[in-house]
Chain A
Amino acid sequence: MKPAPFEYIAPTTVEEALGHLTEYGYDAKVLAGGQSLIPMMNFRLAQPAVLVDLNKLAELSFIRSEKDGELRIGAMTRHFQVERDDLVAEHAPLIHEAMPKIATPQIRSRGTFGGSIAHADPAAELTTICVALDGRFRCQSVRGERWVPAKDFFLGMFTSVLEPDEMLVEIAIPPMAPRTGWALEEEARRVHDFALVGVGAVVTLDEQGCCERARLVFLSVGDGPVEAVKAAEMLIGKEGTPEIIRAAAEAVTEELDPSADIHASVKYRLHLARVLARRALEKAFARAAIPGTQAA
């Protein structure tokens, strides 16, 4: 379990890093926290010719908020920094709540927020949450930069819109509307394992207490974050009664097409999806209705 030979470069600026990506293109792979890439290299499942190590790019490690309340997280910010950050807890409580569910403390001390997203693992919590929260990703190359909405970023298993010369540098999460509730529900074999199924739910109520916006985004049931659009639509204009929530949760399976593995059959995954969707929606509706948990 030793990696195949590779060339190692550790740039100190984003500009320098982008130069290397332009030069090596498909032969290069960027190293962020290394919590997925290094094991894949040790199994020789990944054999990049050039490894561009981003760990010296201090400029990509930050958490701040814009004037309009939008939260900005640098791609190289470590999970544990996000986990313990007050700004994140205040502006994006769903992210705050999800962080402890990501792997182990050891992995969170090294793994990065941007690395997890760029890796585009369908079992990742952060990809799912960014979609549920209408996040945006800033992607940069020597050709310039572009902002990609989270929902358009993921193309498939371990695949995103990032070009070989391009790098994810920043994540933006919009401010939460008033009367918004959230939840992330997941089940894993062991606490730190990839979830068998997980779902992020975000609902916003109008002044009458009816749902005006709903997002239900799943992980581990497809090639990437999977949004149950129709099930979420069933909630619009409705109060979050047990009957309405149950009906929407039951409907999610129409939009999911999970696969089986040694830990879960298709049937079991769909069953878990329904159960977890219901639990997530119950929690999200309850939180949306409680004053004090709303983003002001």
Chain B
Amino acid sequence: MMAKLIGKRITRNEDPRLLTGQALFVDDVELPGMLHAAFLRSEYAHAILKGVDVSAALERPGVVAAFTAEDMGDDWSPGPPLVIPPPTIEDVEFYTRTQVPLVKDKVRHAGEPLAIVIAENRYIAEDALDDIVVDLEPLDVVTNIERALDPDSPLVHDDLESNLAAHLVQEKGDYAAIREGADKVIKRRIVIERGIAGAIENRGIVASWDNKQQQLTVWDTTQSPIPIRNGLASMFGLSEYQVRVIAPFVGGAFGPKIMMFYPEEVLLTWSTLKMGKPIKWIEDRRENFYATTQERGQVHNVELALTSDGRILGLRDDFLHDTGAYDPYGLTIPLNTQCHALGPYDIPNFSSDLKVVFTNKTLTTPVRGAGRPQGVYVIERMLDIAARELGIDRTEIRKRNYLPKDVFPYDNIIIDQAFESFVIDSGDYLPAMEKALKLIDYEKFTKEEQPKLREGGRRLGIGVVSFIETTGVGPYEGARVTIESSGKVNTATGVGTQGQGHFTSFAQIVAERLGVDVRDVHIVTGDTAQFHWGTGTFASRGAVVAANAVNAAALIVRGKVLKLAGDLLETPEEELELEDGVVRVVDDPTRFISLGDLAQRSNPLRGAVEPGTEPGLEATAYFGPKYGATAFGTHAMIVEVDPETMMVEIKRYIVVEDCGTVLNPLIVEGQLHGGVALGIGNSFYEKLVFDDNGQLLNASFADYLIPTAAEIPTIEIAHQVTPSPLNPLGSKGVGEAGAIPVPALFAQAVENALDVDGLEILESPLSPLRLFELFHGEEKDA
């Protein structure tokens, strides 16, 4: 059967609502008698809390309540770890220390909440924060991850011997042995700084306990409403059926909204249960810089061993990863870094010693890319350097080391973020690279244009970088597809939506299977009252795991439709087709029955339903992949650097993406546009700057620079399709792909543009200031 809808460039079902302001966001929720919360946050990054006195705040007119950690009594406890440390590997050290709802004894990062004030409106609540008297005794601070393990470093957690949060060694083959006989060993130190996710909508929560209904409803900007529901029920001794969590439209998430439990989620729920009044908290931008999780922040000491003709013998990557003040998210990020340092290449020997360290900074959890950009940066930069030192073209050295297309599934031996052996399901890397080279005209640019421009004093550079992206991890997602008596179809799934276009891509699958208009498929996401099995939207898995569950449920419903219609039309099922909302006889289109009629007949008001059958045209199905599908691609760019001012202009940007079966190219390309934009931020604009006291120096969008439309070039996209064998649709994730290779690509292109002997870029992000320093051979301005 030819696909009519899957893979088609269909405009999004959700856009009319979004573009006309009709979509519900958390801040749109208004309930009678609703109160508003504000948090008092620590200005110190590290301090002993000696006392919090809220009595003056309580006297302010309009203030209803104010609570400290002491007020929580036995309900106060550190959060449960979200991701457990890996059980499948020997000799892993992991020290679990999780975030607290309100600080009780010691502040461990600036912005940790000390008290909550609940008032008639947010203005009064913020006024009252100034009334609270806090006694904090500041301590020495550790922010630098390379100094965190010094014996004399201040300790983030006093009960630990050091700031070591985790230690893990991963090995493949025997790197030490192969290094001995290598023609070439290249050693470098690579530094990757920390940034924010920067969703346009900050976090927000409305929590409402209805005492008469004994029902808790929480609207939350979370990426995973079902685990939040289950966790809140467990935390507060409620049945899971007494808790409804709704993640409505969410204005971007990019990872930090998967984190749970944030102190605010606990506090708002605890407060509404205590007070019996609905309470709203909307995070403001300044809070977001301190209270929402962040990412990147690694220092790598890397060695690449090669033959003289540029074949990789082995890679050693020993690195430090900054987890911030707590480590609820386990090792997901650095495990991704290790896997992606192997990239699309045949690297027979690999050794990686990972140390995760605590610092007095906001905690890190995955941000779009989630450790992958760091791994890609490491291997791609090392290949660039190897190519230069061995006198091989940058693109050629990559071609020589790609895993061949007949090697899949390929087992990389080391474990991945799911603690399983890192197996790449499928791949075909060379054509993606060649397509990118053709699109950017690599030969002509490097041989003709670039030399000519250089003669005229202009510094243009080209970059070409390959990458892989592990996507679509388990455990599972589910969906329920229902044909209603109107003939329209309702589909509910547990994943939340933060802009991924689920209302359209999932609808396309259902419409394809049931022969209805894509506009007649109503998708519900992120409401636990509608569907309560699943984990959430993360790790580029919606189009893989949830979409295949939708597909499975739709196929079961299709089977029910055909059976019932076959009986009614007295025609064998194989002679029927589903088209235009009806089931008809292929050879006699005058004989048909509409899906709406079928839905009514399957749910009669009178008469007998046969034993062993179910009413309705409905099915629930689940999908859990054996392991994650691995997408891949090549990005290429041309930049011009003004050698006087060090301002960089991106002249061209090419993406060749292979995410398996494309459900909707419009949506995939939108994901790539956004991902590349975030990657450009990571490459040249976005860096959190902390001083020695752990104070963030750029906690606003005036000083923390996210690229705007004006900084993002036209992105030219080409697709390649290598379907994943791991799921019926053949899809792979694409949510993070755009962001992943950009910092490595940008560094390569800028280095090529500057064309200065000995100038190597081994850090990310860059900036005009940093390029000025590198260009003039200066040390970093302290």
Show the binding face of A for B, using Cβ within 8 Å.
Answer: 1-5, 39, 43, 187, 189-194, 196, 260, 262-265, 267-268, 271-272, 275-276
Q: How far is the CA of A267 from the CA of B777 in the complex (A)?
A: 13
Q: Give, as a whole number of angstroms, the nearest-CB distance from B600 to chain A.
A: 53
Q: How far is the CA of A262 from the CA of B696 in the complex (A)?
A: 11
Interface membership of chain B positions 693-715, coded 1 if the CB is closer than 8 angstroms to chain A and 0 otherwise: 00001101011010110110000
Q: How far is the CA of A128 from the CA of B703 in the complex (A)?
A: 22
CB of B127 within 8 A of CB of A275, answer no
CB of A192 within 8 A of CB of B708, answer yes
Neighbouring B residues of A196 by C-beta, 8 Å: 768
Q: How far is the CA of A267 from the CA of B780 in the complex (A)?
A: 12
Q: How far is the CA of A193 from the CA of B703 in the complex (A)?
A: 9
Q: Give, as a whole number of angstroms, the nearest-CB distance from A176 to chain B.
A: 28
* Dominant secondary structure at the B interface: loop
CB of A189 within 8 A of CB of B645, answer no
CB of B781 within 8 A of CB of A193, answer no
Contacts A/B (CB < 8 Å), 14 sampled: A39-B702, A43-B286, A190-B685, A190-B708, A190-B710, A191-B708, A191-B710, A196-B768, A262-B698, A263-B768, A267-B781, A268-B768, A275-B644, A276-B645
Q: How far is the CA of A39 from the CA of B703 in the complex (A)?
A: 13
CB of B127 within 8 A of CB of A190, answer no
- B772 and chain A: residue at smallest CB distance: A268
Scan residues 71-129 of chain B and give those whose CB is less than 8 A from a CB of chain A. Answer: 122-123, 126-127
Q: Give, as a whole number of angstroms, the nearest-CB distance from B729 to chain A.
A: 40
CB of A5 within 8 A of CB of B705, answer no
Determine whether B160 belongs to the interface, using a CB cutoff of 8 Å to chain A: no
Determine whether B24 belongs to the interface, using a CB cutoff of 8 Å to chain A: no
Q: How far is the CA of A187 from the CA of B126 in the complex (A)?
A: 38
- Contact A265-B769, Cβ < 8 Å, known A1-B284, A190-B710, A193-B705: yes
Considering only CB atoms and an 8 Å cut-off, how many residues of chain B contact the other chain? 29
Q: How far is the CA of A285 from the CA of B772 in the complex (A)?
A: 28
Q: How far is the CA of A260 from the CA of B697 in the complex (A)?
A: 13
Determine whether B647 belongs to the interface, using a CB cutoff of 8 Å to chain A: yes
Scan residues 478-524 of chain B and give those whose CB is less than 8 A from a CB of chain A. Answer: none
Q: Give, as a whole number of angstroms, the nearest-CB distance from B573 to chain A.
A: 59
CB of B127 within 8 A of CB of A4, answer yes
Q: Give, as a whole number of angstroms, the nearest-CB distance from B62 to chain A.
A: 11
Determine whether B136 belongs to the interface, using a CB cutoff of 8 Å to chain A: no
Q: Give, as a whole number of angstroms, the nearest-CB distance from B773 to chain A.
A: 8
Neighbouring A residues of B123 by C-beta, 8 Å: 2-3, 5
Q: How far is the CA of A43 from the CA of B711 in the complex (A)?
A: 27
CB of A187 within 8 A of CB of B781, answer no
Show the binding face of B for A, using Cβ within 8 Å.
Answer: 122-123, 126-127, 284-286, 644-645, 647, 685, 689, 697-698, 700, 702-703, 705, 707-708, 710-711, 767-769, 772-773, 778, 781
Neighbouring A residues of B767 by C-beta, 8 Å: 189, 263
CB of B772 within 8 A of CB of A2, answer no
Neighbouring A residues of B781 by C-beta, 8 Å: 260, 265, 267
CB of A190 within 8 A of CB of B705, answer yes
CB of A191 within 8 A of CB of B286, answer no
Q: How far is the CA of A267 from the CA of B781 in the complex (A)?
A: 10
Neighbouring B residues of A264 by C-beta, 8 Å: 768-769
- B709 and chain A: residue at smallest CB distance: A191
Neighbouring A residues of B708 by C-beta, 8 Å: 190-192
Q: How far is the CA of A192 from the CA of B284 in the complex (A)?
A: 23
CB of B685 within 8 A of CB of A262, answer no
CB of A187 within 8 A of CB of B645, answer yes
Interface-centre pick from A192, A268, A272, A275 (highest chain B CB count, 10 A): A268
- A188 and chain B: residue at smallest CB distance: B647
CB of A187 within 8 A of CB of B768, answer yes
CB of A189 within 8 A of CB of B122, answer no
CB of B689 within 8 A of CB of A262, answer yes
Q: How far is the CA of A2 from the CA of B37 in the complex (A)?
A: 13
CB of B697 within 8 A of CB of A262, answer yes
Q: How far is the CA of A275 from the CA of B645 in the complex (A)?
A: 8
Neighbouring A residues of B773 by C-beta, 8 Å: 265, 268
Neighbouring A residues of B703 by C-beta, 8 Å: 262-263
Neighbouring A residues of B698 by C-beta, 8 Å: 262
- Beyond A43-B286, A187-B645: 20 further Cβ-contacts under 8 Å? A1-B126, A2-B126, A5-B127, A187-B647, A187-B768, A189-B685, A190-B705, A190-B708, A190-B710, A191-B711, A194-B702, A263-B703, A263-B767, A263-B768, A263-B769, A264-B768, A268-B769, A268-B773, A272-B645, A276-B645
Neighbouring B residues of A267 by C-beta, 8 Å: 772, 778, 781
3 closest residue pairs by CB, A with B: A1-B284, A265-B781, A275-B644
Q: How far is the CA of A193 from the CA of B772 in the complex (A)?
A: 19
Q: Give, as a whole number of angstroms, the nearest-CB distance from B289 to chain A.
A: 11
- A194 and chain B: residue at smallest CB distance: B702
- A278 and chain B: residue at smallest CB distance: B644
Q: Give, as a whole number of angstroms, the nearest-CB distance from A208 to chain B.
A: 32
Neighbouring A residues of B769 by C-beta, 8 Å: 263-265, 268
